[in-house]
């Protein structure tokens, strides 16, 4: 590279034109504004879609959740199993047992009866699952009716066993603490 070339290279800034027409910037600014508007619109559109989808998701979730909660009742109502008011009777009987107490020495034995209650609840869930998977069938309606009768019988039995324990406890105290049966 000779001196002339170096001279030109070193002074290339001085080889620039004086000014740039203002319209160039105005065009740039105009395009930027349009683009910003487009972006804003796109952002608004996306925001709207996201909010809409979220609301839809929430709605489906809530409905599903309600559906699960009501599933048991729905099935019972659908097959006219609620007419016997078993649920109400069971709840009333359970309520009567909430504060029931037995001597601590009998608590362990008593757990077997409470396990039976848990077992019945598990069995009931199995009925519901069976109906969900295979549809309602006559036999399962019979079993559910029987189930409720058995559950009421069991609650009656728990009550009478508590009464029996406490009756004998009065006659022959075991001098241990009383504990709630935790039904």
Residues at the site binding other proteins, with contacts judged by CB under 8 A: 2-5, 7-9, 11-21, 23-25, 27-29, 31-32, 35, 106, 109, 112-113, 115-116, 118-123, 126, 130, 133-140, 142-143, 146-147, 150, 154, 157, 161, 164-165, 168, 171-172
Q: Which of 150, 149, 173, 154 is nearest to 97 (CA)?
A: 154
CB of 170 to other proteins, least distance (A): 11
CB of 35 to other proteins, least distance (A): 7
CB of 52 to other proteins, least distance (A): 20
Q: Which is nearer to other proteins, 52 or 168 (CB)?
A: 168
Q: Which of 84, 110, 108 is nearest to 97 (CA)?
A: 110
Q: What tokens were used for 82? A: 């609620």
Q: Which is nearer to other proteins, 35 or 85 (CB)?
A: 35
What angle do the packed helices 138-171 and 104-134 form, to 10 degrees?
Answer: 170
- The Cα–Cα gap between 18 and 173 comes to 114
Q: What tokens were used for 20? A: 């740039």
């Amino acid at each position: 590279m000779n001196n002339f070339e170096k001279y030109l290279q070193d002074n290339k800034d001085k080889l620039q034109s004086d000014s740039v027409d203002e319209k160039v910037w105005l065009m740039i600014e105009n395009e930027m504004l349009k683009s910003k508007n487009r972006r804003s619109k796109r952002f608004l559109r996306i925001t709207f879609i996201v909010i809409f989808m979220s609301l839809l998701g929430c709605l489906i979730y809530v409905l599903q959740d309600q559906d699960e909660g009501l599933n048991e009742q729905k099935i019972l109502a659908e097959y006219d199993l609620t007419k016997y008011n078993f649920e109400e009777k069971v709840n009333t009987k359970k309520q009567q047992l909430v504060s029931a107490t037995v001597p601590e020495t009998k608590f362990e034995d008593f757990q077997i009866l409470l396990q039976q209650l848990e077992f019945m609840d598990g069995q009931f869930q199995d009925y519901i699952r069976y109906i969900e998977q295979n549809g309602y069938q006559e036999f399962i309606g019979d079993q559910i009716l029987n189930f409720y009768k058995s559950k009421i019988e069991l609650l009656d039995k728990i009550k009478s066993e508590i009464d029996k324990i406490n009756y004998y406890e009065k006659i022959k105290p075991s001098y241990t603490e009383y504990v709630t049966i935790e039904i």
